[in-house]
Amino acid sequence: MRKILITGALGQIGSELVMYMRNIYGNENVIASNITADGSKKVLESGPFEIVNVLNPQQIADAVNKYKVNTIVHLASILSAVGEANPVAAWNLNMGGLFNVLEVAKENGCSVFTPSSIAAFGPSTPKDKTPQDTVQRPSTMYGITKVSGELLCDYYFKRFNVDVRGVRFPGLISYETLPGGGTTDYAVHIYYEAIKNKKYTSYIKEGTYMDMMYMPDALEAIVKLIEADPKRLKHRNAFNVTSMSFEPEEIAREIKKHIPEFVMDYDVDPIRQGIADSWPNSLDDSAAREEWDWNPKYDLAAMTKDMLEKLSVKLGK
- What residues make contact with ligand SER under the rule CB under 6 A? 79-80, 117-119, 142, 169, 171, 182-184
- 8 Å CB contact between 226 and 273: no
Q: 80 vs 304, which CB is nearer to ligand SER? A: 80
Q: 70 vs 184, which CB is nearer to ligand SER? A: 184
* Residue 145 DSSP SS3: helix
For ligand SER, the nearest residue by Cβ is: 182
Q: 17 vs 104, which CB is nearer to ligand SER? A: 17
- Residues with Cβ < 8 Å from 205, sequence gap 6 or more? 248, 266, 268, 273
Q: 119 vs 144, which CB is nearer to ligand SER? A: 119
First to last CA, the chain: 42
Q: For this structure, is 186 an active site residue? A: no
Q: In angstroms, what is the minimal distance from the CB of 182 to ligand SER?
A: 3
In one letter, which amino acid is 7?
T
CA atoms within 13 A on the CB side of 230: 7
> CA-CA distance, 290 to 227, in Å (whole number)?
15
Nearest-CA neighbor of 26 among 6, 9, 3? 3
Task: Name the catalytic one among 20, 67, 142, 156.
Answer: 142
* Residue 57 DSSP SS3: helix
Q: In angstroms, what is the minimal distance from the CB of 98 to ligand SER?
A: 15
Q: In angstroms, what is the minimal distance from the CB of 170 to ligand SER?
A: 7
Residues taking part in catalysis: 142
